[in-house]
């Protein structure tokens, strides 16, 4: 409930300075109706002002208020993504980062309803890498939903991954929201004609800027499956789609791209409320196309630079990370599903203040302070 656009420092300070009365107030929020909410939010406003926290609207607890007004109940899930593990033991820098993410998520109180793993568990799709990832993710207290990334897939075209984690695309329902998990990193066969070995194919796909590979796509079989899956779902049911690549066309050169994005978006378009949560881009990345909100996830391993072109107006870039700090620009995060099924996306950056992109912010033409101002690198 402290997670609006407060900085971490502000949150810590607010907690440190709360009185027994404040404590009772905070606890009373757990079962708060609209009228009660208004009264306590006014008290919070006073608390915030007394603690010299500016802006005081950080305390307005919009999510709780909206939830009390009906629609889907609010809930939270967490995400860990793009761990890119090598089978080099638990002391390897990427393994340590993945473990940190697990510890972060386990420290959330209350625990998230589930944890989405956003793909690219392994670096080169090797069984040992996937096994290390599985072992690390087993440390999560909350249930885990797995998604595949290209680094998991192109050594054996998903054989090992599927044997460990199940289908690469599936759907489920949770608290009134229909969730869909896609494998959006399908590539047309570029290897057979060239005679590439499995290892070469994996190495090529693992190179973000390797132009020998094909663009990512969801592909016709999965699009057909998606259309059928969604045919059963009421158009007013909030939809949250997980994909590894962004389900739009940002920058082809780095496969920040899904080649059949328009066709997939067309399938999602009839739904009133759609959010896409994707991995692969390792950065703060926000977009909106019509009724579809798009949010990128952070990587635990390293941050990518922003693409030289194509960045959406909705994205507020993070300043380039400090190379001397392994954790900077990396992290994990949470997604708050608010009333009506929209999401507030929280980037828990390990070395910076958290950044929350709210559904409300995405209602405008661009994010405040957003807009692409040219290459960031």
Partner 1 sequence: MRHVAARILGGSAALTATAALALALGVDSGNAVADDVLTRTVWACDHRKQVVVEGVAPDAKLDPARAQLVADILSDLMRYCEEEITAEVGLDQRITIRANGKVYERWTPGAPIPTLRVSFGEPTDREKAIWQAELDKLVKEGDRLFHSDEVGKNGVACAMCHPNASNTHPETYPKFQTQLKKVVQLRDMVNWCIQNPLEGTPLAADDAKMQALESYILAQRKGVALEIGKH
Segment contacting partner 1 by CB under 8 A, of 33-41, 139-147, 214-222, 297-305:
297-305
The residue among 304, 299, 248, 241 whose CA lies nearest residue 275 is: 241
Give the list of residues 6+ apart from residue 17 with CB closer than 8 angstroms, or none.
51
Question: 114 to 153, contacts with partner 1 by CB under 8 A?
Answer: 123
Does 309 sit near partner 1 (CB under 8 A)?
Answer: no
Segment contacting partner 1 by CB under 8 A, of 55-63, 310-318, 321-329, 350-358:
321-329
Q: How far is the CB of 239 from partner 1 (least distance, A)?
A: 32
Does 303 sit near partner 1 (CB under 8 A)?
Answer: yes
3-class SS of residue 354: coil
Does 253 sit near partner 1 (CB under 8 A)?
Answer: yes
DSSP H stretches of helix in 171-260: 198-206, 220-231
Q: How far is the CB of 128 from partner 1 (least distance, A)?
A: 12
Question: Which residue of 9, 57, 235, 320 would you call a contact of partner 1, by CB under 8 A?
Answer: 320
Contact 99, 62 (CB under 8 A): no
Question: 61 to 90, contacts with partner 1 by CB under 8 A?
Answer: 84, 86, 88
By DSSP bridging, strand 144-146 and strand 177-181 are unpaired
Question: 29 to 58, contacts with partner 1 by CB under 8 A?
Answer: none
Q: Which is nearer to partner 1, 23 or 210 (CB)?
A: 210
- Helices 93-106 and 127-137 pack at an angle, to 10 degrees, of 30
Question: Which residue of 46, 139, 323, 364 would you call a contact of partner 1, by CB under 8 A?
Answer: 323
Q: Which is nearer to partner 1, 2 or 372 (CB)?
A: 372
**Radius of gyration for the alpha carbons in the chain, expressed in angstroms and rounded:** 21
Q: Which is nearer to partner 1, 17 or 210 (CB)?
A: 210
Site size toward partner 1, by CB under 8 A? 23
Does 9 sit near partner 1 (CB under 8 A)?
Answer: no
Does 374 sit near partner 1 (CB under 8 A)?
Answer: no
Question: Which residue of 39, 322, 360, 363 would you call a contact of partner 1, by CB under 8 A?
Answer: 322
User: Rounded to whole angstroms, how far apart are CA atoms 116 and 241?
Assistant: 11
Long-range Cβ contacts of 124-129 (<8 Å, 24+ apart): 124/86, 124/151, 124/155, 124/199, 124/202, 124/203, 124/206, 125/151, 125/152, 125/153, 125/154, 125/155, 125/156, 125/160, 125/161, 125/202, 126/87, 126/155, 127/160, 128/87, 129/85, 129/86, 129/87
Q: Which residues bind partner 1 (CB under 8 A)?
A: 84, 86, 88, 92-93, 123, 207-210, 253-254, 302-305, 308, 320, 322-324, 326, 377
């Amino acid at each position: 409930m402290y997670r609006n656009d407060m900085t971490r420092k502000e949150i810590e300070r607010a907690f440190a300075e709360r009185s027994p009365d404040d404590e009772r107030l905070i606890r009373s929020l757990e079962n708060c109706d609209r009228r009660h909410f208004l009264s306590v939010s006014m008290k919070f406003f006073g608390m915030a002002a007394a603690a010299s926290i500016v802006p005081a609207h950080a305390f307005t607890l919009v999510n709780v208020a909206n939830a009390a007004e009906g629609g889907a109940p609010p809930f939270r899930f967490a995400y860990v993504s793009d761990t890119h593990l090598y089978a080099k033991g638990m002391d390897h820098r990427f393994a340590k980062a993945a473990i940190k993410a697990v510890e972060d998520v386990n420290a959330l109180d209350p625990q998230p309803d589930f944890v989405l793993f956003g793909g690219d568990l392994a670096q080169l799709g090797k069984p040992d890498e996937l096994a290390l990832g599985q072992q690390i993710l087993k440390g999560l207290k909350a249930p885990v939903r797995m998604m595949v990334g290209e680094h998991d897939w192109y050594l054996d075209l998903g054989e090992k991954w599927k044997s460990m984690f199940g289908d690469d695309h599936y759907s489920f329902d949770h608290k009134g929201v229909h969730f869909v998990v896609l494998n959006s990193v399908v590539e047309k066969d570029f290897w057979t004609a060239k005679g590439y070995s499995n290892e070469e194919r994996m190495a090529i796909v693992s190179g973000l800027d390797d132009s020998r590979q094909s663009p990512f796509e969801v592909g016709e079989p999965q699009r057909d499956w998606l259309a059928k899956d969604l045919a059963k779902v009421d158009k007013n049911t909030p939809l949250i789609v997980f994909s590894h690549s962004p389900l739009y066309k940002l920058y082809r050169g780095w496969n920040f791209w899904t080649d059949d994005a328009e066709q997939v978006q067309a399938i999602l378009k009839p739904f009133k409320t759609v959010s896409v949560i994707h991995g692969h881009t390792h950065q703060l990345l926000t977009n909106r196309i019509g009724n579809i909100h798009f949010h990128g996830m952070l990587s635990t391993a390293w941050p990518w630079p922003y693409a030289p072109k194509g960045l959406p107006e909705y994205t507020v870039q993070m300043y380039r990370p400090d190379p001397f700090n392994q954790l900077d620009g990396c992290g994990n995060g949470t997604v708050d599903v608010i009333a009506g099924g929209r999401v507030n996306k929280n980037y828990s950056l390990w070395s910076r203040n958290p950044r929350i992109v709210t559904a409300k912010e995405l209602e405008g033409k661009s994010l405040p302070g957003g807009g692409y101002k040219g290459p960031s690198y």
